[in-house]
């Protein structure tokens, strides 16, 4: 028996990193999964990993910030598995690291679209199917940057703060049939945080090693978290073990204050 037996989950941003780890674990825990991403080759690799030992998962290639793609994603998921019970809004690009006066309108629209508009659209189209299924659970993957801020990442911080606000609003609107929660990761080991560290070091005029150490030092546990740490929290929120939990934002960040 898995924690997610009987669930049918849409997981966006499933091509790599947290999204790939989520897809693999959800299948392992018994869920059927629609693994969605813009990169066809990468999301097919995710599907291959998730189904290595069996399980039900289909790839969806499309952009979660485009209305027509999201509508098609939900339709294909229902066609494949008969229902949708769970949405994990993980899609999103980190956007550029720039001073605000250098941050262009294109930078802003792209980052808000990929991180926040995608969560709105997926919610909009998944909710009717979740209601038909008798209810379900939504988990947004936000960021500590949306709660405490991060210099030179204005678009990303704003989008991730928007996901937090969406959590609170949707939890009230969709109750009691649908629970809505949010996981707010701190720095997660992997390619993305390496890129963020490099960008922050460049803008601040310090070395990459100094920037990385400063980020580690501010965490009481003195380490970055892993994708599996985020997956553990998300599986819990999506499972019936969290049946009485909604409207919550859980920081998974090695104890970093205000994150």
Tell me the catalytic residues: 156
Closest CA to 85 of 6, 18, 143: 6
Residue count of the chain, please give it: 259
Strand order in the sheet with 8-12: 57-61, 32-37, 8-12, 86-89, 136-141, 178-185, 249-252
Q: Report d(CA 56, CA 33) in Å as an integer.
A: 6
Q: Report d(CA 123, CA 130) in Å as an integer.
A: 10
∠ CA 70-24-234, nearest 5°, is 75
| Residue 13 near residue 92, CB atoms below 8 Å | yes
How big is the chain by its Cα radius of gyration, in Å?
18
Residue with tokens 């869920």, as numbered in its chain: 31
Q: In a 3-state reduction of DSSP, which class is residue 168? A: helix
């Amino acid at each position: 028996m898995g924690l997610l037996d009987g669930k049918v989950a849409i997981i966006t941003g499933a091509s790599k990193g947290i999204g790939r780890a989520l897809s693999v674990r959800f299948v392992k825990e018994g869920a059927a999964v629609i693994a969605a991403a813009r990169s066809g080759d990468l999301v097919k690799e995710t599907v291959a990993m998730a189904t290595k030992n069996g399980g039900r998962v289909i790839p969806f290639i499309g952009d979660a910030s485009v209305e027509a793609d999201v509508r098609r994603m939900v339709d294909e998921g229902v066609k494949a598995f008969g229902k949708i019970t769970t949405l994990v809004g993980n899609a999103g690009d980190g956007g550029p690291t720039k001073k605000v006066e250098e941050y262009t309108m294109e930078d802003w629209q792209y980052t808000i679209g990929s991180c926040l508009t995608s969560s709105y659209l997926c919610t909009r189209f998944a909710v009717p199917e979740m209601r038909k299924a008798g209810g379900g659970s939504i988990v947004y993957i936000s960021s500590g940057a949306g709660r405490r801020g991060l210099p030179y990442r204005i678009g990303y911080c704003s989008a991730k703060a928007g996901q937090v606000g969406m959590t609170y609003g949707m939890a009230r609107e969709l109750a009691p049939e649908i629970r809505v929660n949010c996981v707010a990761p701190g720095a997660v080991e992997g390619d993305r945080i390496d890129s963020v560290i490099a960008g922050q070091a460049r803008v601040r005029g310090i070395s990459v090693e100094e920037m990385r150490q400063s980020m580690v030092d501010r965490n009481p546990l003195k380490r970055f978290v892993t994708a599996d740490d985020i997956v553990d929290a998300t599986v819990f929120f999506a499972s019936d073990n969290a049946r009485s939990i909604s409207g919550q934002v859980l920081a998974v960040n090695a104890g970093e204050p205000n994150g």
